[in-house]
Structure 1
Amino acid sequence: MSAPKPVVHAAREQVGRLLALVPYLHQRGEVRISEAAAVLGVDVAQLDKDLRVLFMCGLPGGFPDDLINVDLDALEGEGIIRVDNADYLARPVRFGPSEAAALVVALRALEQSTSAETREVVARTLSKLEAAGAATAAQQIHVEADETPSAELLPVLQGAIERGRQLEISYYVPSRDDQSTRVVEPRAITRVGDATYLDAWCHTANADRAFRLDRIVVASELPDPVTERAAEPRDLSGGWFSGDGETVPVTLRLAPEAQWVPEYYPVVSSTPGPDGALDVVLDVASEAWLHQLLFRIAPHAEVLEPRDFAESFTASARAALSLYEVPGVG
């Protein structure tokens, strides 16, 4: 007997199951929940939760006649799934002219600004859309990607590297919504993955840093020559590194109620935890930002590592709770 598949709580996986479930039920009229769970590869308890989400889905408007109807009496009493008022999900999806045009414009813009591997996938998708006639209204649209701010900075950066001069840059870090001015000693401009970086010694951090070009807002060459710290470019092609160079890996244990986090924030890794939990590793550039996230998802998350982050959040949470204490009230 094969082991049961692990329960997947991610919102994206749940949407996929629901989209597959409705046409499946439409063909059969009704089905036992145990049979549907086996087909979808989840346990009965998880599918029961999915169906109670489906009960609140439907067409825009949100009125009773717009929502999908799940027979909860049959589900709870007989273990039978019956769904109606969802005929539209069983029909093939057809794009309207404006939807097709928007999709083709977005794909063509993506085709010009991404890696060669992704461009190949985008080109095949465009070919299928146009062959199917879905994009007739958009076939004459010509899309050119806007010149990125980094293109204007390239001559300044490259000139400073060639002349061996230091740079003053204004750099934006989105993970903590902060823009700072730094003096750096540039070594080289290098590309890793889909992004281009300035490899440099940073005087502010007093350490090596790699700055993404699309996050450098302004750059100006200084008269000061670089020192021996910028003598040789580093080899950044051998493995992952932090583009901002100032992040700390933080391991969170997420209960099912907080497992939407990986859907919204990039994570380094995720592994199943005990009792349906999910352990994720995030690169965090600001402890204050982490506290904000934890306050949003408390009490459904726990900081496993590093311990000083866990302790500082616990202290912040206790301080916040103390503000709600009313003297004399037991």
Structure 2
Amino acid sequence: MQTGHAPRRRLPGAAHKLLRGPLPLWLGGAGCCGLTFCAHAESAHDALSPAGVQASHIFGLWTLTLTVCSLVFAAVLIALLLAMTRAPRVNRDARPDLGSLERPERRVRRVVSGASIVSVLLLFGLLLADIMTDRALSRLPVADAVHLQMTGHQWWWEARYADESPGGGFAVANELHVPVGRPIVISLKADDVIHTFWVPNLHGKKDMIPGRESTIEFRADRAGTYRGQCAEFCGLEHALMAFTVVAEPPAEYDAWVARQRLPAPQPANALQAQGERLFMSGNCAGCHTVRGTSAQGVLGPDLTHVMSRPMLAANTFENTRANLESWIKAPGSMKPGTTMPANQFSPQDLDAVVAWIGSLQ
């Protein structure tokens, strides 16, 4: 049961048809990777609202580049308008003026040469600003950093937190929690095809290439929930492969980590116990891990505390009982191309499985 994707609300008009339609209709939106209309209402996805030091450096470079390019564009338009207004007016029968072939136009030459020199200086200035920004991005102090590993799958995100203290590490899907003001070091891996990690409020893009491991470091300086997105076309569900980064005060982060380290709760009633038995005896346990049980699958997301996540299916659907039941019963009808197979539970068995999964807080 591939529940590693996040909630989706009903999209208005054309936006809903775009995502529900065939691949060619929304491939363009997938390529830009900024489908903000399918983001969770509380999740920011905005490179112009930096929430960390690295994102601030990138925003500063973007602002400088936009300013310089706007000024150059305005200068070119002004020069064009001046040339049009000052051009001599002649009739159709007038002979062309070929005097410039015999006498040098020193003034025009000086203007063109000066504009060329200014253009070269501006380009070198932008290049220097780019280099300085790149150096600033690589100089983030990483002492006392939170270390975790993030793997891109078709089509969900797996995050594994390192074993920093007794109790062991743990894995979550499509949702990162980070403490405000503390550096985060993420080892990036791709399980199948090229993916790209991108949380524009916190940092730039970083490719995840199969067979190679890379790292990205950032620091969230403002509490909030920020939307991440795969920024490299990776298959049919690329546009719906999102995740969230929850930046919270250190005390709240520590409390979240403590809850995530706990095993799954025991069934509280007979219906939940029946659902656990059906889960373990079916295909679900072969794909998913539920710590504290015999389910140790690694093909799909870890479900130990799945109901603590606000979203399902890589930030596509709200984590409600109705969506969970529909996802288990017919995932392909909710996300065409998903690798999770449909489950042939009877209505009574499906109710029991949903009841047990619903207890995994």
Q: TM-score, normalised by structure 1?
A: 0.22
RCO greater where, 1 or 2, for CA within 8 Å and sep 6 or more? 2
Which structure features the higher share of strand residues?
A: 1
